[in-house]
Structure 1
Amino acid sequence: MKITNIETFAVCAQLKKPFKTALRTVTTAESVIVKVTAEDVIGWGEAPPTVAITGESKESVISSINNHISPKLIGLELSSYETIFKVLHTSLVRNTSAKAAVDMAIYDLLAKQSNLPLYQYLGGFRDLLETDYTVSVNSPEEMGDDASQYVSEGFNILKVKVGKDTIERDLERIKEVQNRTGNKASIRLDANQGWTAKEAIYAITKLEQEGINLDLVEQPVPAHDIEGLKRVTDSVNTPIMADESVFSARDALQVVSIRAADLINIKLMKAGGIHQALKINAIAESAGIECMVGSMIESKLGITAAAHFAASQKNITRFDFDAPLMFKEENVDGGVAYNKSMITFNSYTGLGIHSVKQGGLQIGIN
């Protein structure tokens, strides 16, 4: 089958409440939906523009795909997918979210061609995932309220955002979450680059001494500070996870070569899609480092692709796929299914996406 058409559609959805981190505040989830047609079969992809992390806007994602990626991919044979991915990733530098959206659509097509769900096409290690739920950075009291609510709704793992202002204020936030949830939830802290190495060591050591139930601490220092990341990792008992420090396989190699982190968070939007994410995971696995697969504020389309990738690989042991649960209204027909914190896969081939809403309209049915 040849790739015959690539289309882009801008969509948006309101969140139930603002999503706040040390890097940004989001009230409306914007995305670019990609529809790749190979003869009469459709593959789906998604790219949420995240200027604060990938540097991409909605306009740049659409321009990258329409003006630089599509002209080079249309006409290529799906069976020569290594050629497709080489062309995709050399069509322009960076612009990883734009590449990721097209990449996941290609994988959707490949799995459909093989008559398999994507997670089985990629390896099929598991078919059940448990996601965490994110507690946005707010006042300690509001974060305690949110954490208590999420635990009551059936979530056993909380991803608690910190790094917004002072380290002492962050410690108040964490203690309030712990006090409100007790031992009912495991806590993953995410500073989103908001601490220095010294602050991170101080805060984590203090939390360890007070018996706070920490599963891990994610990206405590600025992305470029690999030496600082290693210093934190070497100084505390709590596992430290690299996120923004690892976009590419080369970044992963740098982190694992000096053991700068205990874990790596792979996101398709950082990596440029599943093809590159598989390489990052392989490098981490070869060094004995487990991975989490996370996400941006994506609809169920992008999360479904990330979940299929995560489920396929043994070395991926943690999952951060709560974004669709934050939407006021569902805008995707098909994909993974949620039962509280648990995620299951349908029996459809590929990603199992049937259609996506754009305003009041349904984009294509397949």
Structure 2
Amino acid sequence: MKIQNVDVIRQSVPLKKPFITSLRTVHRADSIIVRIVTDDGRVGWGEAPPTLVITGDSLESIEAAITQVFAPLLTGKNVLAYEPLLQSVHQAMVGCSSAKAAVDMAIYDLVSQHCGLPLYQFLGGSKDTLETDYTVSVNAPEEMGDDAVRYVEAGFNVLKIKVGKGRIEDDIKRIQEVRRRVGDDIKIRVDANQGWQAKEAVRAIRRLEDLGLDLELVEQPVKAHDLEGLKYVTDSVETVIMVDEGVFSPAQAFEVLRRRAADMINIKLMKAGGIYKAQVINQLAEEFGVECMVGCMIESRVAATAAAHLAASKRNITRVDLDAPLMLREDPVIGGVQYEGRFMTFPKAPGLGIQDVVNTFGMEVV
């Protein structure tokens, strides 16, 4: 089963509402869709959204990496020898993790299609349904409260609250308002997106604990590179601390785990460079007794489907944050994982189960 073509399509879908964090404001879900076609007619799908402030990848750099480096590398190669194939992808370029992820998920799509299994079963088959949270963008407390109520009324029982923008006193007010509006039965996760300093993070989290706001976890409270600060926060509070932007690679994950600098790891395919490396991160974490979440960037159901298959395949992945496709005004993906409120279910089709992707950007295949 040899690779015949590697095609890319630019995709752009407006969001229902701007997505705002301490790092950026997003109005549209832009991405590069990858389509790998084999000589027996199978099609594998992948996706890479640009996230300059996190991965450093732009639409242009993703497209160039795929068309100029990965496509020549992959064309004519046997997909079933996927381990050396994926190793060659990772060795071909430094960085470019999003482009690597798009190619990686398309290859796994093809391999699991060949085996006649949905990808999550091919990877391990731990569970066949998932429940995602829904993210509340950082805004004024009243607006965040309104958004939180709307998401709860839509059936979500776990909310991810974005903070880290402006004064830390304002962040505490935001979390208080959301908790007041949704009641005590809804789980709340807080994501500072690197927006706090270590000492103020400890002060804020202790204050939130004293207020009895019952947070499930706090994600990436300090800068991605500040491993000492992350450990200081983790050691100083009772609330679970999860690392996100601080872990891209298995080597970074090992360092966090070795130092016990965080209680959980958020794995994202766009950071890890795809499923191949993401599995290594999860396996390392499991050996250290540390659970993982699988999250996403602002992406369509192509990438979210791949992330969901990974999450469903492993028992150590106990939480998912895969709500991005629900934020889009239109859904360009035919097939793939399906959403019914917070519940995510998988098609019985082999691979990712994606049948086609509608080109909303109006550009021809490259």
Contact 2:265 2:291 in 1 (8 A): yes
Structure 1 residues 257 and 10 mapped into 2: Cα distance closer, same or farther (>3 Å)?
Answer: same
> Is 1:156 matched up with 2:161?
no
Which amino acid letter does the alignment assign opposite residue 177 of structure 1? V
Which amino acid letter does the alignment assign opposite residue 222 of structure 2? V
Which amino acid letter does the alignment assign opposite residue 177 of structure 2? E
How far apart, CA to CA, are the structure 2 residues paired with 1:221 and 1:290?
20
Which amino acid letter does the alignment assign opposite residue 189 of structure 1? V
Structure 1 residues 339 and 23 mapped into 2: Cα distance closer, same or farther (>3 Å)?
Answer: same
> Is 1:72 matched up with 2:77?
no
Structure-2 residue corresponding to 1:137 = 138
How far apart, CA to CA, are the structure 2 residues paired with 1:126 and 1:361?
37
How far apart, CA to CA, are the structure 1 residues paired with 2:363 and 2:64?
23
- How far residue 82 of structure 1 moved from its aligned partner, in angstroms, is 1.1
- How far residue 361 of structure 1 moved from its aligned partner, in angstroms, is 7.1
Structure-2 residue corresponding to 1:255 = 256
How far apart, CA to CA, are the structure 2 residues paired with 1:253 and 1:276?
13
How far apart, CA to CA, are the structure 2 residues paired with 1:321 and 1:363?
29
How far apart, CA to CA, are the structure 2 residues paired with 1:193 and 1:43?
35
Contact 2:332 2:360 in 1 (8 A): no
How far apart, CA to CA, are the structure 1 residues paired with 2:139 and 2:313?
35
Alignment of 1:110-259 (within 5 A): 110-259=111-260
How far apart, CA to CA, are the structure 2 residues paired with 1:271 and 1:360?
27
Structure-1 residue corresponding to 2:293 = 292
How far apart, CA to CA, are the structure 1 residues paired with 2:133 and 2:185?
13
- With structure 1 as the length reference, what TM-score do the two structures score? 0.98
Summarize deviations over 1:69-104 as a string: whole Å, max 9, x none: 111111111121111011110111100000000000
> Is 1:7 matched up with 2:11?
no
Structure-2 residue corresponding to 1:329 = 330
How far apart, CA to CA, are the structure 1 residues paired with 2:67 and 2:262?
37
Which amino acid letter does the alignment assign opposite residue 126 of structure 2? F
Which amino acid letter does the alignment assign opposite residue 109 of structure 1? L
Tell me, what secondary structure is at the counterpart of 2:80?
coil
Structure-2 residue corresponding to 1:353 = 354
- How far residue 339 of structure 1 moved from its aligned partner, in angstroms, is 0.9
Summarize deviations over 1:270-318 as a string: whole Å, max 9, x none: 0000000000001100000000000000101110000000000000000
Summarize deviations over 1:177-229 as a string: whole Å, max 9, x none: 00001113100000000000111100100111111020000000000000000
Contact 1:355 1:362 in 2 (8 A): no
> Is 1:107 matched up with 2:108?
yes
Structure-1 residue corresponding to 2:18 = 18
Contact 1:269 1:296 in 2 (8 A): yes
- How far residue 261 of structure 1 moved from its aligned partner, in angstroms, is 0.1
- How far residue 265 of structure 1 moved from its aligned partner, in angstroms, is 0.1
Contact 1:49 1:56 in 2 (8 A): yes
Tell me, what secondary structure is at the counterpart of 1:280?
helix
How far apart, CA to CA, are the structure 2 residues paired with 1:302 and 1:281?
18
Structure-1 residue corresponding to 2:268 = 267
How far apart, CA to CA, are the structure 2 residues paired with 1:357 and 1:94?
29
Tell me, what secondary structure is at the counterpart of 1:358?
coil
Contact 1:123 1:312 in 2 (8 A): yes
Contact 2:12 2:361 in 1 (8 A): no
How far apart, CA to CA, are the structure 1 residues paired with 2:360 and 2:20?
25
> Is 1:38 matched up with 2:38?
yes
Tell me, what secondary structure is at the counterpart of 1:319?
strand
Structure-2 residue corresponding to 1:312 = 313
Which amino acid letter does the alignment assign opposite residue 282 of structure 2? N
How far apart, CA to CA, are the structure 2 residues paired with 1:210 and 1:361?
51
Percent of residue pairs identical: 57
Which amino acid letter does the alignment assign opposite residue 225 of structure 1? D
Tell me, what secondary structure is at the counterpart of 2:238?
coil
- How far residue 363 of structure 1 moved from its aligned partner, in angstroms, is 9.1
How far apart, CA to CA, are the structure 2 residues paired with 1:98 and 1:27?
22
Moved more, 353-362 or 65-74: 353-362
How far apart, CA to CA, are the structure 2 residues paired with 1:135 and 1:70?
38
Contact 2:240 2:264 in 1 (8 A): yes
- With structure 2 as the length reference, what TM-score do the two structures score? 0.98
Moved more, 53-62 or 353-362: 353-362
Which amino acid letter does the alignment assign opposite residue 168 of structure 2? I
How far apart, CA to CA, are the structure 1 residues paired with 2:83 and 2:239?
39
Tell me, what secondary structure is at the counterpart of 1:8?
strand
Tell me, what secondary structure is at the counterpart of 1:174?
helix
Contact 2:11 2:361 in 1 (8 A): no
Tell me, what secondary structure is at the counterpart of 2:356?
strand
How far apart, CA to CA, are the structure 2 residues paired with 1:361 and 1:337?
25
How far apart, CA to CA, are the structure 1 residues paired with 2:154 and 2:249?
36
In structure 1, runs of 5+ residues without a counterpart are none
In structure 2, runs of 5+ residues without a counterpart are none
How far apart, CA to CA, are the structure 2 residues paired with 1:208 and 1:182?
16
Which 4+ runs in 1 deviate beyond 6 A? 360-364
Structure-2 residue corresponding to 1:277 = 278
